[in-house]
Amino acid sequence: MTTQPIPGTRKKRKLAPAELRAWIAFMRAGLRMTRAMDRDAEATGRLLFSEHHILATLNEGPPEGIRPTELAEQAGLTKSGLTRALDRLETQHLIERRVCPSDARGQLIVMTAQGQRVLKRSAPAHFRSIARNFADHLTDREVEVITTAMERVAEATASR
């Protein structure tokens, strides 16, 4: 059963059993993949999943850095989760916190040269872990369907 919500409406409705099953499968898979990837990283002394994701997000961001609030949103972490991860990364000298030039009360998070080296070295093993824990279990068609569906969900919930 596919239901297409009408944008802008807040109609009350029950979840269909298939929708609830899809949600539970999505949540379970995400949690288990993250844990499996963290186990892979710990076994080889690499960055944890969330740490790698933060560095990758910083790497894709502007060279002057990213505000913590924006970084938390892009990395999919809570404020407290981000703070703990940033503390660990700062202790390892992989990131720096700088004063925001346009707002002295604000901070910018910047990846250090050492952080760039660590990210570059850890990327191949990180991608192998993604393959082993995610992509290897899907057909090309399933990858396409999952991508389309998750991009639509992300877009629909981005403005809420």
pLDDT of res. 45: 83
Do the domain assignments include residue 99?
A: yes
Could you give the percent of the chain with pLDDT greater than 90? 72
Do the domain assignments include residue 2?
A: no
Alpha carbon distances (Å) from 138 to 1, 12, 27, 35: 22, 34, 17, 19
The amino acid at residue 137 is: H
Q: Is 153 buried (19+), middle (13-18) or exposed (0-12) by CB count in 10 A?
A: exposed
Do the domain assignments include residue 60?
A: yes
Is 7's pLDDT higher than 60?
A: no
Do the domain assignments include residue 112?
A: yes
Q: Is the pTM of this model over 0.95?
A: no
How confident is the model over 31-54, as a mean pLDDT?
A: 91
Do the domain assignments include residue 109?
A: yes
- Burial 100-125, CB ≥16 within 10 A → b, else e: eeeeeeebbbbbbeebeebbeebbeb
How confident is the model over 57-77, as a mean pLDDT?
A: 92
- The half-sphere exposure of 22 on its side-chain side, counting CA atoms within 13 A, is 10
- Total structural domains in the chain? 1
List pLDDT tens digits, range 128-157: 999 999 999 999 999 999 999 999 998 998
Residue span of the structural domain in which 149 resides: 18-158
Whichever domain contains 109, its CATH number is 1.10.10.10
Do the domain assignments include residue 4?
A: no
126 Rama sector, left if φ>0, alpha if ψ -120 to 50, beta otherwise: alpha
pLDDT of res. 138: 97
Do the domain assignments include residue 153?
A: yes
List pLDDT tens digits, range 75-121: 888 889 899 999 999 999 999 999 988 888 889 999 999 999 999 99
Do the domain assignments include residue 5?
A: no
